Amino acid sequence: MVRRLRFNGTGSGVNGCPSVHEDLDTGEVIVHGPPLTDPEDIARLRHLGEGEVPVVVPRELLVDWGPKDVTRKAKVIDLDEFDRLFTRFEHTAWRLETRRRYASDEVTETYAQFTRGEPVDWDDQDSEWCANRRAQAALGKRVGRVRIVDDPPTAGQLYLLDNARRNSAVGERIMNLRRVDADRLNLPSEDFWIFDSRMVALLKFDDADNLVGVELITEPAEVVRYSMVRDAAMHHAVPFEEFTAGLAVKE
């Protein structure tokens, strides 16, 4: 069976060697780098089994990118504490949205209007959420997100493409990326926020697509990994206006 490998990081910004990968199913770690070839050095190694190849890696590679204690208890917060993160961040908040539907959208009046084919007046929205986004934007903070869209888009994704007009009006930068491109880039199928490039809020959903919890991740190597996902998504995504126009042309 082909391993589900995740690239953790590299000690080289040039050729990607040496590097560390992690098997997402077994937890095993794969390290690759230049082989140790001097016979005298190899002769001094203990317990080198047949077929094993010793490699040389800098200590920093394992310190920076080696998986940490997987038995450590996750820090889970409730949704009220999660909401408070949006007033406490200092500089940036960014989200990756990967799901095909969100149950919370479907109970709103705007969703009902949209599915009935009625125009939604997003300018008329003055919720606490909108007020918070405007307040943070007024303080010079930046909020953005990339939304993954299927081909063809789901009903929920089409709603969010329309909803992006509201997000943009209150100061968010909304971009979109096709699912096929996200898969090509090996982006994870996770929804998460990154706050100030130092903390990740990993969103947990139940089988009915309800947000039920949030796990906070502050381990530096993990935060960097999610930041790499953000950078890749931002590089390949396009503004929602351009993405929506492309869908209209395709139709």
What structural domains and CATH numbers belong to the chain? 5-65 (no CATH), 75-250 (3.30.870.10)
Query: What pLDDT, on the 0 to 100 scale, is given for residue 72?
Result: 65
128 contacts 177 by C-beta, under 8 angstroms: no
| Structure tokens that stand for 36 in this block | 């140790």
pLDDT band at 9 (very low <50, low <70, confident <90, very high): confident
CB atoms within 10 A of CB 10: 19
Predicted local distance difference test score (pLDDT) of residue 136: 95
- Mean pLDDT, range 160-179, rounded to an integer: 96
For residues 10 and 60, give the distance between their C-alpha atoms in angstroms, rounded to a whole number. Answer: 10
- Point out the least confidently predicted range of 48-62, 95-109, 136-150, 188-202: 48-62
> How high is the pLDDT of residue 105?
96
Q: What is the mean pLDDT of residues 172-197?
A: 96
Rounded distance between C-alpha atoms, residue 243 and residue 192, angstroms: 22
Q: Mean pLDDT, to the nearest integer, of 38-65?
A: 85
Distance CA 117, CA 33 (A): 57
CB-CB contact of 86 with 193 (8 Å):
no
What does the block give as tokens for 197?
């490039």
Distance from C-alpha of 186 to C-alpha of 2, rounded to nearest angstrom? 15
Residue 145 has pLDDT above 70, yes or no: yes
> Alpha-carbon distance 11 to 7, whole Å?
12
Q: CB-based burial of residue 2 (10 Å sphere; 0-12 exposed, 13-18 middle, 19+ buried)? A: exposed
**ω into 119 cis (within 30 of 0):** no
Conformation bin of residue 16: beta by default, left when phi > 0, alpha when psi is -120 to 50 = left
Size (the chain), residues:
251
